Amino acid sequence: MNMKRRISGVWTVIFAIISVIWMFPILMVIMNSFKKKTAISISPFAPPTKETFAGLSNYAEALEKTDFLWSFVWSLFITVGSVLLMLVFTVMCAWWIVRANNVYAKFIYLLFLISMVVPFQMVMFPLSKMSDMAGLNTPWGLWLLYLGFSPGLPVFIFTGVVKSLPSAVEEAAMIDGASVPRIFFNVVLPLMRSSIVSVAILQTMWVWNDFLLPYVTLDLQQFKTIPIAVQVFKGSYGTTDWGAMMGCLVLTIIPILVFYMLCQKQIISGITAGAVKG
């Protein structure tokens, strides 16, 4: 028993060391964000000294050069809107597919499944042209593009959940004369709460970090998301402004950390739900 506990203690120490190494890249970015531009690329591993300490100037520059706050607002606006729309419409459709179970239902389900394998590059060019022509190159236009491009995984997860719900309750409500929308919103939705939260988390992580779809569809003169804004510091031919870049990277990581601390449990269960076997 004593031996076992000691071995477990040794592993705790080993894992503690691995954890520090694991976090090193992030710690290093935070450290460098307080150093002067020239000191960052010359000696990225050295802690700031009196001469190289830059205070908050990198952050000020990052905020000024990228319009970081606006990028944050647009990222948030795009993510919240598209995730909410996606949830409402995919959960409705998934329930209908399972309960109606006719040829049309099976056909659209099959199309949704197929779409999960298709890489974005396949539709990238036509989609960017179409969204330009239809005036959807705006943050609210992206709501529709996300809704249209990626309902596959949510529909797939939700149909799996609906199949596990007994339809007896819904049948009883129907015999009592409740309308279909009423049954769906009052009886079915509450039962699906935990899977809806899981899918919301998965979609949020994806849309928030997605770079390519907004990059090829948004009107970049007016709107930038955070992953797009970071690119500002990377000039052509390797002339990266590392000072402002470090400030910007830290500013990007902070909201992610807050989100992680608030929703850790839901994130874990979201990933487990998303990994249902195909």
Tell me which residues in 216-275 interact with another protein (CB under 8 A): 216, 227, 230-231, 234, 238, 240, 242, 245-246, 249, 252-253, 256, 259-260, 264, 267-268, 271-272, 275
Q: 78, 100, 32, 96: which is closest to 208 by C-alpha?
A: 78
User: Which one of residues 34, 112, 156, 158 is an interface residue with another protein (CB under 8 A)?
Assistant: 112
DSSP-based three-state secondary structure for 45: coil
Give residues 183-202 in contact with another protein (rule: CB under 8 A): 184
DSSP-based three-state secondary structure for 234: strand
Query: Pattern of binders to another protein over 158-187, x per CB under 8 A?
Result: ---------x--xx--xx----xx--x---
User: Which one of residues 56, 60, 69, 111 is an interface residue with another protein (CB under 8 A)?
Assistant: 111
Pick between residue 222 and residue 264 the one whose CB is nearest to another protein: 264
Pick between residue 70 and residue 211 the one whose CB is nearest to another protein: 211
With 0-12 / 13-18 / 19 or more C-beta atoms within 10 angstroms meaning exposed / middle / buried, residue 11 is exposed
What is the dihedral sign for C-alpha 18, 19, 22, 27? negative
Q: Does 126 bind another protein (CB under 8 A)?
A: yes
Q: 208, 210, 200, 179: which is closest to 263 by C-alpha?
A: 200
Q: Does 203 bind another protein (CB under 8 A)?
A: no
Contact at 8 Å (CB) between 199 and 221?
Answer: no
| Shortest spacing between CB 228 and another protein, in angstroms | 8
- C-alpha 256/C-alpha 177 separation (Å) is 47
Instruction: Compute how many residues bind another protein; rule: CB under 8 A.
Output: 97
Query: Pattern of binders to another protein over 28-47, x per CB under 8 A?
Result: xx--x-------xx-xxx--
User: Which one of residues 16, 135, 221, 239 is an interface residue with another protein (CB under 8 A)?
Assistant: 16
Q: Does 72 bind another protein (CB under 8 A)?
A: no
Pick between residue 77 and residue 184 the one whose CB is nearest to another protein: 184
DSSP-based three-state secondary structure for 21: helix
Q: What is the dihedral of CA 168, 171, 173, 178, to 10 degrees?
A: 160
In this chain, which stretch among 16-24, 48-56, 58-66, 156-164 interacts with another protein, using CB under 8 A? 16-24
- C-alpha 260/C-alpha 191 separation (Å) is 25
DSSP-based three-state secondary structure for 240: strand
Give residues 50-69 in contact with another protein (rule: CB under 8 A): none
